[in-house]
Structure 1
Amino acid sequence: MCSPEVQENTGDLIEGSKFRWKKGELIGHGAIGKVYMGLNFETGEMMAVKQVDLGEHFGPQAAEELKAMDQEIHIFSMISHPNLVRYYGMEKTSTQFFIFLEYVSGGSIATMLRKFGAFSEQMVSNFTAQIVDGLHYLHSQSICHRDIKAANILYSNDGVVKLADFGTAKKIADVMNMSTGLKSLVGTPYMMAPEVIRQTGHGPPADIWSLACVIWEMATTKHPFTQYTDRMVAMYNIAHAKAPPNPPETLSEIAQDFVRKCMIIEAPRRASTKQLLEHPFIGEG
């Protein structure tokens, strides 16, 4: 996908040198950006179009979101996998910034949990296998997602799970060297690994910890630290924990073992995606 000339959204067909598209209904929004349905008028394919309007009141918050979008584009340009949202292209003008992405019809896992409640263990296993497959690909490319959570995992109507939102993802030279790993405090508080909160350096194992938190959500509709209603209190206790929380009792022993291998306080001891793919909780599928 190339970059056509962008016009103000009037509902009209937007003509470009190599393809034409039209903006549809608003389907989501961020701090300053919005996400619209889009239709490629040459292929007939639906798209999700992230848009940021660059007005005269463009301030630090907008600049930070644009930085995240630039980072997302950089990561998207390097990846391609069935369990990652596809990237079609971007365009930037003096007034607007767009990212064109695959439209995933079912919405997020977080939305599904709100609508239908906790998933069956078979469904958790199926979704987890796909999430791990996507993470295994990212980690093999030395990329950390850094914000794995139910809201950032999309589900299509044909049962395919896709990781989305790569605005905080990073590519690092040596992801296993925790002394030189990423040290910025990013992610969602209740999903953060201890080393992320402590800012002592983190890499792919931080994604594995967050994966366990997502399994927790899928199995119970709640994150594993519900006893802490205040986010700062939760972060303090996660950072200083001597042992991880016990897995949900509703899960089978095999599933609980999988969660335990993901939620080890010492990051280097956590299971890798390669090891998780061989675990009987998802490997037998």
Structure 2
Amino acid sequence: LSFPECNPFIICYYNSYYDPSTRQFLIEMEYIDGEDMFNFVLDSGEKNNSELHYYLLLLMTKDLAKGLKYIHSKNILHNDIKLENVMIDRNYVPRIIDFGLACHTLFKEHLGQYCDSVGGTPDYIAPEFFKLKMRTPATDMWALGILLYIAVMKEYPYGENYNVQDLFYKIENNKAPKINTSNELGVDGIEFDVRRCYTGEIVLFHDETLDRLAFKDKFYFDKTKGKNINKLQWYHLYNTELIDS
């Protein structure tokens, strides 16, 4: 049995079948031995050295940006990026799962790729959706930013006990949540403006973005060997041979 070549940061689809006896479609996908990112954040934040934990989050975010870049290159939006829709395998490689709300994009001048699908998880919905009723690749990137916020801060941006309408008002009117700027990730550099959301490609290669998100000369996790490397030179984070293997 041969399996198709798949993007390393997206769950792999193998085949689909229709069962006439049950009138159901069956989808065959890869099995990921690990846990979803929500539980990873809960578990790892307590067990691991905090600096190592943040490095893992940095690398995972970069990997997820690669996955989103690939998805968007196929004219698809995921539309439900969140911690629960990312699986982390035993080698700490994240994979985007659950394309139940994904959509094929259309194209409009001055807007680019977009789709007008509804749904999604309230905390992760980008503000322009409420006004334009459209989603673009930038809205997936907004959701990725919310994912990183929750992973780092260990809390939802607008609290857990909220009225949905109040939540939507805060998002739509750019009521940015408070950020603990003492956190070593440098989150004081974050800007809550979807119009300036980076694309997946820019997130991958923008030096300033990486400088904002990471420590220097601290800990780095080598996913190829499963070891903690202390004081590895910063430029190794750009060594794609090491990071992508």
TM-score range relative to shorter protein: 0.7 to 0.9
Deviations 1:173-211 (A, max 9, x none): 327743883233321001100012334322000011111
* Aligned-partner residue type, residue 113 of structure 1: V
**Structure 1 stretch displaced more, 271-280 or 205-214:** 271-280
Distance change in 2, residues 1:86/1:175 (3 Å) = farther
Distance change in 2, residues 1:223/1:117 (3 Å) = same
Is the helix fraction higher in 1 or 2? 2
Corresponding position: 1:252 with 2:179: no
Distance change in 2, residues 1:225/1:142 (3 Å) = same
**Helix, strand or coil for the counterpart of 2:107?**
coil
TM-score, normalised to structure 1, is 0.63
Q: Which has the larger radius of gyration?
A: 1
Q: CA deviation at 1:236?
A: 2.1
Corresponding position: 1:108 with 2:36: yes
8 Å CA contact 2:141–2:197 kept in 1: the answer is yes
Structure 1's unaligned 5+ residue stretches are 1-41, 46-76
How large is the Cα RMSD of the aligned pairs?
Answer: 2.9
Residue 207 of structure 1: which of 140, 150, 157 is its match? 140
| Distance of 1:163 and 1:83 partners within structure 2 | 6
Name 2:202's counterpart in structure 1: 275
* Aligned-partner residue type, residue 204 of structure 2: L
Q: What is the correspondence of 1:1-285 to structure 2 with a 5 Å cutoff?
A: 80-94=6-20, 95=22, 96-117=24-45, 120-174=53-107, 177-178=110-111, 181-226=114-159, 229-241=162-174, 244-252=176-184, 254-257=186-189, 259-260=190-191, 263-265=192-194, 267=195, 269-278=196-205, 279-280=209-210, 281=213, 285=237
Larger RCO (CA within 8 A; separation ≥ 6): 2
**Helix, strand or coil for the counterpart of 1:83?**
coil
Q: CA deviation at 1:133?
A: 1.0
TM-score, normalised to structure 2, is 0.73
| Distance of 1:199 and 1:227 partners within structure 2 | 26
